[in-house]
């Protein structure tokens, strides 16, 4: 085995964000850029940990080329066996499941999630650890420190592997196996949900469903699950073929980017149920006929009904949500007598809670939900949950939501995103607003009294690690909230996210328009942060 030692110099922009390292494709294609970061991942692991590695991605542009490089570097770094998804494809949830199944050292996921793809689009890489979850901050900090001092990387000379053919091939002192993650993932889901019960929905043809894979990773998984195993009619899965540029679309399952599905679901001949997932398969959007379910409400419904699902017969043991996610699930947890944890944004913060069995359900407002079955959010898992629940209750999505609000009250909730704003000005907005928090506490603005405001920090109850500066919170006397965050998932400029929430216990007020109901809070949020002044934007880029 001929291992080459390639001299290199550090790049200064390789600090991982909440979901790994994301940059434009052209940045990753620079000489040594990908190799440096991969070597820094391997250098952060002990030699005794380099046993089994899993590699795969969402199929975006540069996925195949990057896999061939990483394979040869993994062999040079001493891994005994490397598993690769067929055609280089592995959804993020499937990756987490495979890591846990094979007891792998970890997995490298090549994805920029919901960001656009193609030659001019985004690319990303992140490392998931042995529990199947994203690398914790301690490890990503170590990787980043390594990127600042790296002076060489290792790679073997070898022919490329045929990624499309299942089977095992020797490479240097290791073996590379191309595996079918689609069938494996579908088998796993069949153990969690009552597939026979769900089949009854589709058996007569009366129940109609539409799933938008957005030309991203979930197409093959969704066709296997919904059309082949559950009996939904052929064509239920839209945009099923994974494409390197996602068909020119934006693989983000929300009301703006999944417009084809939304038009169907709010049209004159709408299906009974609709759903979509994102670039790497970890996010979900749930729709009923003329009905949109916010991710926060979806999490709350799951918490209230977990006991109906075969894989969770013992019900809810505990739940966690990211801080910006609405407090709808908090009320469910209170009624059910379990603890609800509030964490920073980023799925890695749920890992310790899941591993220590403090929770068995978690979710984020950014279209992500999951459970203790893996250590990532899981888009298709959420869709199957809703299908199983519909089969149990024999109700429409709208009826399920109405019943839930009657029992727990409704949290009117919305997120306003200002995308690709000038990063310096966005940071000035946040620092200026943070500096004013002490003087704003106790003030009344347009009839809303601010009772408390802070910059959210989190101390992990398992390992006592502390994460600070996680978002500016403004809490009002009536229980309403406004939260401001700068997102770490974009590659151009900055994204300012503004979260708005108002609780309504009166069931006679549960059918109001969300944006109209929140109109006064929206106005206050814009005034407090002086959004137009700092960003130059009259209105958000995306409202969800």
What's the pLDDT tens digit per position in 31-63?
A: 999 999 999 999 999 877 789 999 999 999 999
The set of catalytic residues is 113
Query: Is residue 490 over pLDDT 60?
Result: no
Q: Can you give the pLDDT at residue 137?
A: 87
User: Contact, 390 vs 283, CB < 8 A?
Assistant: no
What's the pLDDT tens digit per position in 191-223?
A: 999 999 999 999 988 999 999 999 999 999 999
Q: Can you give the pLDDT at residue 48?
A: 74
Mean pLDDT of 276-294: 97
Could you tell me which residues come within 8 angstroms of residue 178 by beta carbon, excluding any fewer than 6 positions away? 83, 84, 85, 86, 161, 162, 163, 164, 165, 166, 167, 168, 169
Q: Which residue has the tokens 């291992």?
A: 3
Q: Is 478 helix (H, G, I), strand (E, B) or coil?
A: coil
- Rounded Cα distance, 202 and 227, in Å: 10
Could you tell me the pLDDT band of residue 18, with boundaries at 50, 70 and 90?
confident
- Rounded Cα distance, 288 and 454, in Å: 37
Question: Which residues, listed in sequence order, are joined to residue 154 by a DSSP beta bridge?
Answer: 5
Could you tell me the pLDDT band of residue 188, with boundaries at 50, 70 and 90?
very high
Query: Is residue 536 over pLDDT 90?
Result: yes
Query: Is residue 493 over pLDDT 90?
Result: no
Mean pLDDT of 286-299: 97
User: Contact, 344 vs 487, CB < 8 A?
Assistant: no
Question: Which residues, listed in sequence order, are joined to residue 59 by a DSSP beta bridge?
Answer: none
User: Contact, 481 vs 500, CB < 8 A?
Assistant: yes
- How high is the mean pLDDT of the chain? 95
Mean pLDDT of 228-244: 97
Token couple for 204:
């007569």
Residue 463 CA, distance from chain mean position = 23
Are both 3-179 and 410-543 of the same fold? no
Burial 14-52 (b: 16+ CB within 10 A, else e): bebbbbbbbbbbebbbeebbbbbbbbbbbbbbeeebbeb
CATH class entry, domain 3-179: alpha beta
Could you tell me the pLDDT band of residue 488, with boundaries at 50, 70 and 90?
low
Among residues 25, 60, 50, the alpha carbon closest in space to that of 127 is found at 50
Among residues 262, 275, 227, 290, the alpha carbon closest in space to that of 381 is found at 275
Q: Can you give the pLDDT at residue 49?
A: 76
Question: Which residues, listed in sequence order, are joined to residue 467 by a DSSP beta bridge?
Answer: 458
- Rounded Cα distance, 52 and 81, in Å: 5
Q: Can you give the pLDDT at residue 454?
A: 95
Query: Is residue 87 over pLDDT 90?
Result: yes
What CATH number matches the domain at 410-543, 2.120.10.90, 1.20.120.1200, 3.30.1300.30, 3.30.310.50? 3.30.310.50
Domain boundaries, the chain: 3-179, 184-408, 410-543
Could you tell me which residues come within 8 angstroms of residue 267 by beta carbon, excluding any fewer than 6 positions away? none
| Span 184-408 CATH architecture | 3-Layer(aba) Sandwich (3.40)
Mean pLDDT of 162-190: 97
What's the pLDDT tens digit per position in 248-262?
A: 999 999 888 999 999
Q: Can you give the pLDDT at residue 46?
A: 83
Q: Can you give the pLDDT at residue 17?
A: 83
Angle between helix 33-43 and 63-76 (nearest 10): 40
Mean pLDDT of 93-120: 96
Cα–Cα distances in angstroms (integers) from residue 233 to residues 199, 213, 229, in the given order: 11, 16, 11
Mean pLDDT of 308-320: 97
Cα–Cα distances in angstroms (integers) from residue 159 to residues 45, 69, 86, 169, 508, in the given order: 26, 11, 18, 11, 67
What's the pLDDT tens digit per position in 381-424?
A: 999 999 999 999 999 999 999 999 999 999 999 999 999 999 99
User: What single DSSP character describes residue 225?
Assistant: I
Q: Can you give the pLDDT at residue 426?
A: 95
Query: Is residue 302 over pLDDT 80?
Result: yes
Q: Can you give the pLDDT at residue 32?
A: 98
- Rounded Cα distance, 139 and 149, in Å: 16
| Cα 492–Cα 494–Cα 497 angle in degrees, nearest 5 | 135
Q: Can you give the pLDDT at residue 1?
A: 75
pTM of the model: 0.94
Mean pLDDT of 451-480: 95
- Rounded Cα distance, 322 and 333, in Å: 15
- Which string of DSSP letters, residue by residue, matches 24-84? EHHHHTSTTHHHHHHHHHHHTS-GGG-SEEEEEE---TTHHHHHHHHHHHHHHTT-SEEEE
Q: Can you give the pLDDT at residue 353?
A: 96
């Amino acid at each position: 085995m001929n291992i080459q030692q390639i001299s290199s110099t550090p790049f200064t922009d390789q600090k991982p964000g909440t979901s790994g390292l994301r940059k434009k494709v052209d940045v990753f294609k620079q000489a040594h850029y990908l190799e440096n970061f991969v070597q820094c991942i391997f250098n952060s692991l002990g030699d005794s940990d380099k046993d089994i590695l899993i590699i795969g991605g969402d199929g975006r542009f540069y996925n195949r080329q990057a896999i061939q490089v990483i394979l040869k570097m993994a062999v040079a770094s001493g891994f005994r066996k490397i598993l690769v998804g067929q055609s280089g494809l592995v959804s993020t949830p499937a990756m987490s499941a495979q890591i846990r199944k094979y007891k792998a050292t970890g997995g490298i996921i090549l994805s920029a999630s919901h960001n656009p793809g193609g030659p001019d689009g985004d690319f990303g890489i992140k490392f998931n650890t042995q529990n199947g979850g994203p690398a914790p901050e301690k490890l990503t900090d170590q990787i980043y420190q390594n990127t600042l001092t790296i002076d060489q990387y290792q790679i073997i000379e070898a022919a490329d592997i045929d990624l499309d053919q299942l089977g095992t091939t020797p490479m240097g002192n290791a073996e590379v196996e191309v595996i079918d993650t689609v069938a494996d993932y579908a088998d796993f889901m069949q153990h969690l949900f009552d597939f026979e019960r769900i089949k009854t929905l589709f058996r007569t043809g009366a129940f109609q469903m539409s799933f938008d894979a957005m030309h991203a990773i979930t197409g093959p998984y969704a066709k296997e699950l919904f059309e082949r195993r559950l009996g939904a009619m052929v064509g239920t899965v839209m945009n099923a073929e994974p494409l390197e540029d996602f068909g020119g679309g934006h693989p983000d399952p929300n009301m703006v980017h999944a417009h084809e599905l939304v038009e169907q679901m709010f049209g004159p001949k709408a299906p009974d149920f609709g759903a979509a997932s994102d670039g790497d398969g970890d996010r979900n959007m749930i729709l009923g006929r003329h009905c949109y379910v916010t991710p926060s409400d979806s999490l709350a419904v799951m918490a209230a009904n977990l006991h109906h699902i075969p894989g969770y017969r013992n019900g809810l043991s505990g739940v966690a949500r990211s801080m910006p996610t609405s407090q709808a699930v908090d009320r469910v947890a209170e009624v059910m007598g379990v603890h609800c944890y509030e964490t920073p944004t980023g799925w890695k913060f749920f890992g310790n809670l899941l591993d220590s069995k403090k929770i068995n359900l978690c979710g984020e407002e950014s279209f992500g939900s999951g459970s203790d079955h893996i250590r990532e959010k899981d888009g298709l898992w959420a869709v199957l949950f809703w299908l199983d629940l519909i089969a149990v209750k024999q109700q429409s999505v709208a009826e399920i939501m109405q019943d839930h609000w009657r029992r727990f009250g409704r949290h009117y909730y919305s997120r306003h995103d200002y995308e690709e704003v000038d990063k310096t000005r966005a940071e000035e907005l946040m620092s200026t607003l943070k500096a004013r928090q002490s003087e704003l506490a106790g003030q009344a603005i347009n009839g809303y009294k601010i009772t408390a405001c802070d910059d959210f920090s989190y101390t992990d109850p398992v390992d006592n690690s502390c994460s600070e500066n996680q978002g500016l919170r403004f809490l009002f006397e009536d229980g309403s909230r406004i939260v401001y965050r700068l997102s770490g998932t974009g590659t151009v400029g900055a994204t300012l996210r503004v979260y708005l929430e108002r609780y309504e216990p009166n069931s006679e007020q549960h059918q109001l328009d969300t944006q109209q109901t929140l109109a006064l809070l929206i106005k206050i949020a814009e005034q407090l942060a002086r959004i137009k002044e700092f960003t130059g934007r009259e209105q958000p880029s995306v409202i969800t």
